[in-house]
Amino acid sequence: MPRPGFVLDVDRSTPPMLFHHGESLRLEKLPVGRSRVLYPGEPLDPLDDPEGAIRHALANPLGDCQPLRALLRPGMKLTIAFDDISLPLPPMRRPDVRQRVIEAVLDLAAEAGVDDVHLIAALALHRRMTEAELRHAVGDRVYDAFAPHGLLYNHDAEDPDNLALLGSTPHGEEVEINKRAAESDLLVYVNINIVSMDGGHKSTATGLASYRSLRHHHNVATMRQSTSFMDRHTSELHHSNWRMGKVIRDAGVKVFQIETTINNDTFGASGPMAVLQKREWEWTARDRASFVAMKAGLDHLPLKARRKIFHSWQAPYGITSVQAGEVEAVHESTTENIFRQQLVEVDGQTDILTMGLPYICPYNVNSVMNPILVMCLGLGYFFNMYRGRPLVREGGVLIMSHPTPWEFHPVHHPSYIDFFEQVLADTTDPAEIEARYEKQYAEDEWYRHLYRTSYAYHGVHPFYMWYWGCHGLAHAGKVIIVGGEPRAVRRLGFTAASTLQDALEMAGDVVGRGATITHLHNPPLVMADVT
């Protein structure tokens, strides 16, 4: 029976805590008496027969929806859209959930005699997936059957010939999505929900949308009102997507949503990384030996080699649930399953929130975690891992641990470089950045070219990263990056500290000497339900 997550009060005999630190690890002693640690739950037991569960979900849809078999008929246009490389993190071992679900869907389609099938990676403004990445996601069989005929491809949010404007919401938000998806008789969306932000109407309304449509919810005003964007009921981001979802439905696009959830088995129960998901006081001699060896190895390897090691890790995630059918009903059930794994009740806010940022975030799979992504992971994703109130009080201090090198992947993140060099050198205020620079970057022909033909994130993507963190930026009184490269950290508008102790000293100047500290022991993922 997996144990749920919990809050640990740090006392004299609490061992030092594990902090992820980019492609490295740190052990940090937290002050006794005023610190607590938020631990994730242990991995839930996976489904015994995921393929049977998938078939069962397809045959017994939730909400107002017929079984998939009944929706398939010869001569129809079927489009299967699936989540891109940003999910799950780190990538999971083969076979990927998407492969299992897509094969099950296609098998039903084959049985029904469906001929016209397209598969689309719903990547919105993310970089295109490479052949290897697509093969990993959908499996070789599906790839070899569809890709050579041009029937399996990446969504292109800048292809004027392949976008359909479906209308506007009452709030004036234009809904423009992939034309093939919009014109299909049935759109099957195959999703992986790693956090509660994913899925629901966001899948189609964001994943298959164009810049014109995305800008209505990917902006500072929306993100500041998404408190948090992990809780759909208090997230303006989701309200907007839900409004768009209604427009999509009213436009006659029939969506059959398949959502899957995975457990917390990020580093495996055994193997070299297993120690990273154990609680420190339960580390056996063997765990400690492997940690010491790993840390010593990592500390001596060059960054490139460390990055290679970490990025080659594939998580042995287990599937905890599959639900299919009508989008909203499906997503309700999905969210429950996510919360079952991730939600931990926390009593009250804290003055200082510490977090160790790992080597990966949704936008640097097989890539470089640049300073902008550090900001997005810390102030965007980790800060927003709450329901109710933020873990840290307003005006409190956020301490993140990450080396934050001034380094960018030249192919994947070209516009990030310019954003960092030109925009952030000028201002770090999200609203000002949005007003003064977004349009220029979004409409830059070169970025558009790289997004469409190379493997680059869209020109506007670094702005979205900054918006993602704007709620955290406005909420926190100070942000300190432990171990960060000072030049890069300064450019982000934050403060660099060389050790956690220094950072806590600095934080004391803002929130007082006896300030309370909470450490978010993440990953594996944990979400705080703050009362």
Partner 1 sequence: MAPLRSAVSRRLLRLPFPFSAPTVPGGVEAPPRRQRAGADYDTTWARRYPARLARAAIVETVARPAVAALARPERHGLDRLTLLAEAGGPVVFAANHHSHVDTPLLVTSIPDPWRHKLFVGAAADYFFRTPATSALSALALGAIPIERAKVGRRSADRAAALLSDGWSMLIFPEGGRSPDGWGQPFRGGAAYLAVRCGVPVVPVHIDGTGRILRKGRKLPKPATARVTFGPPLFPGPGDDSRRFGAVIERAVAALADEATTDWWSARRRAHAGESPALVGPDAPAWRRAWALGDPDRRRTRQRRRWPEL
Partner 2 sequence: MKALVFSRKPARYAAAMVAGSLRPGRGARYGPLSLRDVDPPELPGPEWLRLRPRLSGICGSDLATIDGRSSRYFEPIVSFPFTPGHEIVGDLEDGRRAVVIPVLHCAARGINPPCDMCRAGRINLCERVAFGDLEPGLQCGFCESTGGGWGQEMVVHPSQVVEVPDALTDEQAVLVEPVACAVHAARRVGDGPAAVIGAGALGLFTIAALRSLARPSVLVATAKHPEQRRWAKELGADVVCAPGELDRAVRSATSSFVLDNGQLTSGVGAAVDCVGSEESLAQAIRIVGPGGTVHMVGMPGVTTLDLTPVWQREVALRGAYAYDEHDDRTHDFATAAGLIRELDLGRLVSATYPLARYEDAVDHAAHAGVRGAVKIAFDLRSERTAR
CB of 490 to partner 2, least distance (A): 11
Query: How far apart are alpha carbons 122 and 198 in whole angstroms?
Result: 12
Residues 443-482 that bind partner 1 (CB under 8 A): 455
Nearer to partner 1, 89 or 134 (CB): 134
Q: Check residue 95 for interaction with partner 1 (CB under 8 A).
A: yes
C-beta separation of 336 from 519 below 8 A: no
Residues 363-422 that bind partner 1 (CB under 8 A): 366-367, 411-412
Nearer to partner 2, 407 or 502 (CB): 407
Residue 355 belongs to what H/E stretch? Answer: strand 350-356
Over the range 90-123, which residues count as b (16 or more CB within 10 Å of their CB) and which as e?
Answer: bbbeebbbbbbbbbbbbebbeebebeebbbbbbb
Q: Pick what 70 binds: partner 1, partner 2, none; C-beta below 5 to 8 Å, kind-dependent.
A: none
Q: Check residue 421 for interaction with partner 2 (CB under 8 A).
A: yes
CB of 306 to partner 1, least distance (A): 18
The interaxial angle of helices 131-138 and 97-112, nearest 10 deg, is 70
Residue 285 belongs to what H/E stretch? Answer: helix 285-300
Nearer to partner 2, 168 or 440 (CB): 440
C-beta separation of 17 from 37 below 8 A: yes
Q: Check residue 432 for interaction with partner 2 (CB under 8 A).
A: no
Pull the structure tokens for residue 292.
């010491």
Binding segment for partner 2 among 23-31, 54-62, 158-166, 419-427 (CB under 8 A)? 419-427
C-beta separation of 156 from 210 below 8 A: no
Q: Pick what 28 binds: partner 2, partner 1, none; C-beta below 5 to 8 Å, kind-dependent.
A: none
Size of the site for partner 1 (CB under 8 A): 29
Pull the structure tokens for residue 461.
């993507």
Query: How far apart are alpha carbons 369 and 147 in whole angstroms?
Result: 30
Q: Check residue 75 for interaction with partner 1 (CB under 8 A).
A: no
Q: Pick what 241 binds: partner 1, partner 2, none; C-beta below 5 to 8 Å, kind-dependent.
A: none
Contacts for 57-61 with beta carbons within 8 Å, 24 or more apart?
A: 57/258, 57/322, 57/323, 57/324, 57/325, 58/104, 58/105, 58/108, 58/258, 58/324, 61/256, 61/324, 61/325, 61/326, 61/330
CB of 217 to partner 1, least distance (A): 30
Q: Check residue 49 for interaction with partner 1 (CB under 8 A).
A: yes
Per CB under 8 A, the list member of 32, 132, 425, 435 interacting with partner 2 is: 425
Measure CA 290 to chain center.
29
Q: Pick what 366 binds: partner 2, partner 1, none; C-beta below 5 to 8 Å, kind-dependent.
A: partner 1
Per CB under 8 A, the list member of 131, 161, 282, 445 interacting with partner 1 is: 131
Q: Which residues contact 251 (CB under 8 A, 6 or more apart)?
A: 166, 167, 175, 182
Q: Check residue 417 for interaction with partner 2 (CB under 8 A).
A: yes
Q: Pick what 505 binds: partner 2, partner 1, none; C-beta below 5 to 8 Å, kind-dependent.
A: none
Nearer to partner 2, 262 or 456 (CB): 456
CB of 156 to partner 1, least distance (A): 18
Q: Check residue 418 for interaction with partner 2 (CB under 8 A).
A: yes
Q: Pick what 145 binds: partner 2, partner 1, none; C-beta below 5 to 8 Å, kind-dependent.
A: partner 1
Query: How far apart are alpha carbons 396 and 35 in whole angstroms?
Result: 14
Binding segment for partner 2 among 229-237, 283-291, 413-421, 473-481 (CB under 8 A)? 413-421
Residues 146-165 that bind partner 1 (CB under 8 A): 146, 148
Residue in 45, 38, 3 with CA at minimum distance from that of residue 18: 38
Measure CA 80 to chain center.
21
Residue type, 224: R
What sign has the CA pseudo-torsion 154, 155, 156, 160? Answer: positive
Over the range 348-374, which residues count as b (16 or more CB within 10 Å of their CB) and which as e?
Answer: ebbbbbbbbbbbbbbbbbbbbbbbbbb
Binding segment for partner 1 among 62-70, 104-112, 168-176, 488-496 (CB under 8 A)? 104-112
CB of 442 to partner 2, least distance (A): 11
Per CB under 8 A, the list member of 202, 444, 519, 530 interacting with partner 2 is: 444
Q: Pick what 106 binds: partner 2, partner 1, none; C-beta below 5 to 8 Å, kind-dependent.
A: partner 1
Q: Pick what 95 binds: partner 2, partner 1, none; C-beta below 5 to 8 Å, kind-dependent.
A: partner 1
Nearer to partner 1, 211 or 455 (CB): 455
Q: Check residue 146 for interaction with partner 2 (CB under 8 A).
A: no
Q: What single-letter DSSP state applies at residue 358?
A: B
Query: How far apart are alpha carbons 265 and 281 in whole angstroms?
Result: 19
Q: Which residues bind partner 1 (CB under 8 A)?
A: 49-51, 94-95, 99, 106-107, 110-111, 113, 115, 117, 130-132, 139-142, 144-146, 148, 366-367, 411-412, 455
Q: Which residues bind partner 2 (CB under 8 A)?
A: 417-418, 421-422, 425, 440-441, 443-446, 449
